[in-house]
Amino acid sequence: MKILANDGISQEVKLALEKIGYEIVEVRVAHEQLFNYIHKNKIEGLLLQNGTLLNKVMINELKELKVIVYAGTSIELELIDYISSKGIHVVWAEEALANATAEMVFAHLFTGCRLLQESNRNMPLEGDSSFKSLQESYSTGIELAGKTLGIIGMSKAGELVAQKALALGMHVLYCDKDIDSLRADYVLPNNVQFRVELDSSPIEKVVHDAHFLTVHTRHFERYVLNKESFDQAHHLMGVINCAYPEAVNEVALVDMANEERLLFAGVDRFEEEPKPAIQVLMQPAFSLSPNINTSTDVSKMLIWDEIIEKMQLLRN
C-alpha cells in the first residue's frame, strides 16, 4: 500500500512502516492539490499529523483512499466518524492519548474545586494589596474525595478518568449504551494494582446524582450535555469538556455559571475553535485551556508505537 506522509515523518517511523510492507511517499502537497496528487500517483493511504487540515468536502473527494492515519495529538471525533462513514479506515492512537486527556480532566477538576482559575487571575493584580481579602474569598473550596463523578461515555480516556477518580476516593457513575459494564484490572506505573467494577446507568441518573460531569463518548454526539440535562441535575458543581467541540452546549453552560447554579467548568474544547466565544473566555468561573488535553511530551512519543502496531494489524 502506498501512503502519502503529507506532514512529514521521522526516518525511524518510515523504516518501521516500510519494514511491514508499506511504501511511504514523503511529499508536502498543498490542500487544494491533494485530490489530484492522490489520484495521479495511486495513493491508497494518507498519514497526517497536525499540519494537514481535512474537512468533509475534501473527504468526499478523497473517497478512493483506503486508510487515513492521524498521528497528531489534535483529534476531531466528528471528522473521524465522517471518514469512517465513507468506508475509509481510520487509524489513530486512542490509547496513547487517553492518559493525557484523563489527567487534564483532573487538572481542571482540582483547579475548579479550589477556585484556582480565579485566584490565578487575581493574585498578580491584587495579591500584594489584598492578600487577606483574597485568602478569605478563595478559602471556600471543596474536596473531590467522597464526591460523585459522572462520566458520559466510556472511551479509553473515560476508563482512565474512572480509574483516577476511584483512586481519589470518589464515587463513579457512567453511562454508555454500548458498554454495559466495566471490569478491568489496572497496573499503575508505580506497580500499584487494583480492580475496577462498574455498571452503566441511565444518563438521567448520572446527571441527577453527579457532583461533576465529564464527557468521553467514543463517537461525536452534539450537545451531550445541554440545558435540559442541567435542569435534571440536583447536585452539580462542575462540568468538564476535554472531549470535542459541541460536546457541551456552551450557552447553557455560561447561563448556569451566570446564575450561580454551577461552581465552575473546565473547558479545553470549544464550540467555535479556533476563535472561542468571548462570553466563554471571559466567564471568571471557567478554567480554560486551548485544546491541549491530548498533548504532552509522553503522549507524543507513545503515538507512533500505537500507530505502527495498528498499521501492522491492518497489513495482516
Regarding whether 213 and 107 lie in a shared domain, the answer is yes
- Answer yes or no: is 302 within a domain: no
- Answer yes or no: is 55 within a domain: yes
**Phi, psi (deg, nearest 5) at residue 54:** -85, 160
- Answer yes or no: is 222 within a domain: yes
Regarding whether 83 and 172 lie in a shared domain, the answer is no
- Answer yes or no: is 139 within a domain: yes
Regarding whether 198 and 117 lie in a shared domain, the answer is yes
- Non-local (6+) Cβ contacts of 2 within 8 A are 22, 23, 25, 41, 42, 43, 44, 45
Radius of gyration of the chain (CA): 22
Q: Residue-wise pLDDT tens for the chain (316 aa)?
A: 999 999 999 999 999 999 999 999 999 998 889 999 999 999 999 999 876 678 899 999 998 899 999 998 888 999 999 999 999 999 999 999 999 999 999 999 999 999 999 999 999 999 999 999 999 999 999 999 999 999 999 999 999 999 999 999 999 999 999 999 999 999 989 999 989 999 999 999 999 999 999 999 999 999 999 999 999 999 999 999 999 999 999 999 999 999 999 999 999 999 999 999 999 999 999 999 999 999 999 999 999 999 999 999 998 8
Asked if the peptide bond before residue 276 counts as cis, ω within 30 degrees of 0, the response is no
Predicted local distance difference test score (pLDDT) of residue 215: 98
Predicted local distance difference test score (pLDDT) of residue 4: 96
Q: How many domains are there within the chain?
A: 2
The residue out of 67, 92, 117 marking a domain boundary is 92
Cα gap 178→167, rounded to integer Å? 25
Cell numbers for 303: 503515538
Regarding whether 154 and 187 lie in a shared domain, the answer is yes
Regarding whether 54 and 139 lie in a shared domain, the answer is no
- Answer yes or no: is 187 within a domain: yes
Residue 74, domain CATH = 3.40.50.720
**Phi, psi (deg, nearest 5) at residue 167:** -65, -25
Regarding whether 271 and 149 lie in a shared domain, the answer is yes
- Answer yes or no: is 231 within a domain: yes
Regarding whether 203 and 239 lie in a shared domain, the answer is yes
101 CB neighbour count, 10 Å cutoff: 27
Going by their DSSP bridges, the two strands 89-92 and 23-25 should be labelled as unpaired
Q: Which strand ranges, in their side-by-side order, compose the sheet holding 212-215?
A: 171-175, 148-152, 212-215, 238-241, 264-267, 286-288
Going by their DSSP bridges, the two strands 2-5 and 89-92 should be labelled as unpaired
Closest CA to 248 of 228, 271, 232, 264: 271
- Answer yes or no: is 299 within a domain: no
Cα gap 257→277, rounded to integer Å? 15
In which domain, by residue range, is 205 found?
97-288
Cα gap 192→179, rounded to integer Å? 26
Predicted local distance difference test score (pLDDT) of residue 54: 87
177 exposure class (CB count in 10 Å sphere: 0-12, 13-18, 19+): exposed
Regarding whether 251 and 184 lie in a shared domain, the answer is yes
- Answer yes or no: is 311 within a domain: no
Regarding whether 125 and 39 lie in a shared domain, the answer is no
Regarding whether 155 and 34 lie in a shared domain, the answer is no
Regarding whether 104 and 85 lie in a shared domain, the answer is no
- Non-local (6+) Cβ contacts of 36 within 8 A are none
Predicted local distance difference test score (pLDDT) of residue 53: 76
Regarding whether 135 and 269 lie in a shared domain, the answer is yes
The residue out of 92, 114, 139 marking a domain boundary is 92
The residue out of 92, 127, 161 marking a domain boundary is 92
Q: Which residue has the cell 458520559?
A: 152
